[in-house]
Structure 1
């Protein structure tokens, strides 16, 4: 691709490093920014630098935060007897956006994967076990992805948590609302039958 300016080329190369952004999209974004007021571009730049330099991870649940302890962990309205364990921060955000859960969270930072060399010690598992030892936590919900690694991690955590007398549950998995059974894969459909709900 030919560029009218080395500055534009450098900007396109940097923008295209973002996930899901190809060279053409990066060029459109670069040209858009070039057409904006200098103050607007400066504010964008400042916010990106602040994002990278000032964002920290909560010391309790390991989600992204502005302070050492995130607003969720600090909130007095949260049910402290309930912890929902997720793999990564986007999973936490997805659950939080449902407005259906009022407990606390714990971000593992991944899942156990021997193939990729990720062991339990590489994840935020010890801090989870520390959080559940105080007697306040009654239940841990494992909201992990339905993969081999997710199931392995869930099995490992269940063994550890049950030793502490903690009730362990998992999120329901099954046929999505609005989908048709004939297009549902066999594993999901089978799991839906096995984990069926009773109508009262």
Structure 2
């Protein structure tokens, strides 16, 4: 088990919870009913699909199709009910759902599209903020370790420099003085 495994599991769990939560809310809003095993199966499906993608930072180009594909799979999973006899019948036949069979209507497709798009934007921005925060924390930690592990500074010795530092005003600090003989050239008398 690597150090990053708990971090990957937390990210995968958050993605699966958002994905299944979106599917469950949309399904219930449309008039469907759900059972506990269906929701648990949806969570397992979303978790298994998202886990391989959590190894590094992902953007909208990865999150949007993954979320869209999972919403289609969850729609199919939630739209098939198991009756007491054990045979699978669509909710539309029971009159409890707003679309016919497993094929959604135009309104449901539009609602799924909007929900998937907005949720994917939300997740990608959250992903970017998380990784930005982690990069900043790592930079601060490296800076702190550099300060703590740096060798002790050497004590100041007066013998380093016998000449005092030239004090210049702020406006003249880049000025070059060229008056007098060149430095380092011995003066010779004639």
TM range (shorter): under 0.3
* Structure with greater helix percent: 2
> Which structure features the higher share of strand residues?
1
Q: TM-score, normalised by structure 1?
A: 0.18
Q: Which has the higher contact order (CA 8 A, sep 6+)?
A: 2
